[in-house]
Amino acid sequence: MTGVLASQQIRDMITNGTLHATTAIDDAQVQPASLDLRLGTVAYRVRASFLAGQSNRVADRLNEFEMHRVDLTQGAVLEKGCVYVVPLMEHLALPYDVHAIANAKSSTGRLDLLTRTITDGGVEFDRIPAGYTGPLYAEICPRSFSVLVRPGMRLNQIRFRQGRSVLSDAELEVLHVSDTLVTGGPPVISDGLGFSVDLRPANDRLVGYRAKPHTGVIDLDLIGHYPPDAFWEQVHSSDGRIILDPGAFYILVSREAVHIPPQYAAEMAPYLAMVGEFRVHYAGFFDPGFGHSGAGGTGSRGVLEVRCHEAPFVLEHGQIVGRLVYERMAAVPDQLYGAGIASNYQGQGLKLSKHFRGPEL
């Protein structure tokens, strides 16, 4: 068996103890191709981001870098610009042939809430080697907004793989012919499927949002609660281009509508560092069924989380800013994205996180 493990296989891992937790894992955490991870009861405010490093435990490194502890039991604010490490409820005991990769959930990324997974002995963020046994930790750094969090909140997710499952460019070409992976333009296939930015919307000049620098706290439990204009400035364009300000955070949208067939999953990756002085940070995974007609979608556009660095940069309509890497599933999930599992972003266009009021924008 080779590929990304599906929801029913993740449930088997829970049953056999490969996945276990201090509080029983809820079935709602199981997604089509991933498992949502939950915050524990304490956050450690640390001086700087860190990796444990080979043969080191995260707990020991916390003794070096901890400034103070924050009890999350009754809810607590993680402040903008600070770095925190939170032990997660879930623990792993991976088989020798299963490795894992973690990423922020979509809503987490859209709040510019940098969330990465670290492990004992880890030398990379979000990468867990085959056979790893031990605890998981979330490193959290709110970049644009301070946030109110509580134990059990799910900010990141983990995906499990057996073997090498990434499709080659030649295989992507064949899959696009049979399943139409993108609409809205011809596919650009080079180390994945290219994503470009839409700066010429059909109805008006609204092309995105820019985070305001001084705002209130966002309670992550409140859905559809906050007025967008209290936290975001609208970004308009009359000529298909915008100038990105250094340090500012933007929500934009891809020109292409994406389709993930049920037997595949995908992950967004940066395109090329040489294309400009900015980074497009993609929140997470694209599950099987995203944008799929059989799961209530007709193609869904990708939301782009963009931060400019060092110098102002002109971003133009149709510029390629990211790539979508497709992978085979080890099995077709027993439930697809959007098909009765309260998926928030099926059929999306330009859309803020689920915490903000208003219809799809």
Measured between alpha carbons, how far is 271 from 130 in angstroms, rounded to an integer? 27
Each residue's pLDDT expressed in tens, for the chain with a length of 361 residues = 799 999 999 999 999 999 999 999 999 999 999 999 999 999 999 999 999 999 999 999 999 999 999 999 999 999 999 999 999 999 999 999 999 999 999 889 899 999 999 999 999 999 999 999 999 999 999 999 999 999 999 999 999 999 988 999 999 999 999 998 988 778 889 889 988 899 987 667 789 999 999 999 999 999 999 999 999 999 999 899 999 999 899 999 988 888 899 999 998 876 555 455 566 665 568 889 888 765 444 568 888 888 888 789 899 999 988 888 999 999 999 988 765 544 444 445 788 999 999 754 3
Domains with residue ranges and CATH for the chain: 3-162 (2.70.40.10), 169-328 (2.70.40.10)
Q: What is the DSSP string of 226-293?
A: B-GGGTEEEEE-SSSEEEEPBT-EEEEEEEEEE---TTEEEEEEE--GGG-SEEEE--SEE-TTTT-G
Residues 6+ apart with CB under 8 A from 316: 197, 199, 240, 241
pTM of this prediction? Answer: 0.91
Helix intervals (H) in 66-145: 106-110
